[in-house]
Structure 1
């Protein structure tokens, strides 16, 4: 059986230099990144955020996915650790609550090149080298745009009322609740939805929990997209044009329109993964990573769903 875990390379810039947060375990006399095992009922992005708070004492929202590290632990068991990057804000750092404990003796911010020699394990050193390379290319800091398909709804054939009012099934309502911590790991600030009930009720629990204003756009409905796909595209382009992370909740028939600008701006190796987003299952979503430097570019994509034990990802 594989042990699943998740962690974060927490980073900042100080006097123009990249610095990262490393944790020291006195029991093992080693240095590494904040990480830990998946708890029952948890999703890996949740695990990553929780472990940073437990081990380093501050809250983060996930940046781009860095990759997956596989190795064997002392008993010969396979371990699979999923890593994200996260820029730690001044606000998060000012609220840091860390007390040395039996597991983590200290947390220190180390200049990235020095961290290469301080890290105890080769796989962490390789991860650090990848982070340095991304920073040099100005592709380490990104913002997330999430495209979410609504949760499981009452079948069309079982609903005699207006299409716009077709509700979620009880299973769909449960999915909407389970999405809250998963989406919260990425922390989208601007939340936009089709006003049709099945979309609204999918993302409203997250918006309420995160205290985000829920913005309704009729251009995201099936009917509007069918008549004028360009209007659906306009809503997406408006979100792309902002500097904030965001989320769009829409319907399966509207997904190709919503994904089109990302496919066009992505490198060849990511286009197919983005295009496959048109097949998102109910309550499944894509996290599209946009570079914040230069013109609009997609530099990474993750596909996340409630039924996935491990998120699928593709990174450039």
Structure 2
């Protein structure tokens, strides 16, 4: 299964790293993760990442550099998610069928809230990509 997602961030001068990261809560899995989702037929991973981010968070974003692709197995089937860094440029969250809550957290707090190590690694990759 192919999917796309974003590590969505916004400037936050009051945090040590100068930014906050948006995490989504998925009630189906009762977990916190980065916005992501399956690609539609014929859709590129890039387009899917932007669409899913908007659908799940309500945020329009300015995409930045690509981040590591994450591969894992779900219910015995391989899944590949391509990620991009993306700066939030506006929008409003509204709860939906897939996501019932979003939070904006400093990177250290975001790492602590994320349920999967692979998602925590994306925070590190985002910070490295934005630094250099």
Which secondary structure does the structure 2 equivalent of 1:130 belong to? helix
Aligned to 1:30: 31
- Equivalent pairs counted in the alignment come to 129
1:13 aligns with 2:27: no
Contact 1:7–1:52 under 8 Å retained in 2: yes
Contact 2:56–2:96 under 8 Å retained in 1: no
* Distance 1:61-1:14 versus aligned 2 partners, 3 A rule: closer
d(CA) in 2 for partners of 1:133, 1:65? 11
Give the drift of 1:58.
1.6
Aligned to 1:118: 113
d(CA) in 1 for partners of 2:53, 2:129? 21
Q: Cα RMSD between the aligned structures? A: 1.3
Aligned to 1:47: 48
1:103 aligns with 2:98: yes
Identify unmatched segments of 5+ residues in structure 1. Answer: 140-316
Which secondary structure does the structure 2 equivalent of 1:63 belong to? strand
Aligned to 1:168: none
Identify unmatched segments of 5+ residues in structure 2. Answer: none
Bigger proportion of residues as helix:
1
Give the drift of 1:19.
0.7
Give the drift of 1:24.
0.5
Contact 1:45–1:62 under 8 Å retained in 2: no
Which of structure 1's runs of 4+ aligned residues deviate more than 4 A? none
Greater relative contact order (Cα 8 A, min sep 6): structure 1 or 2?
2
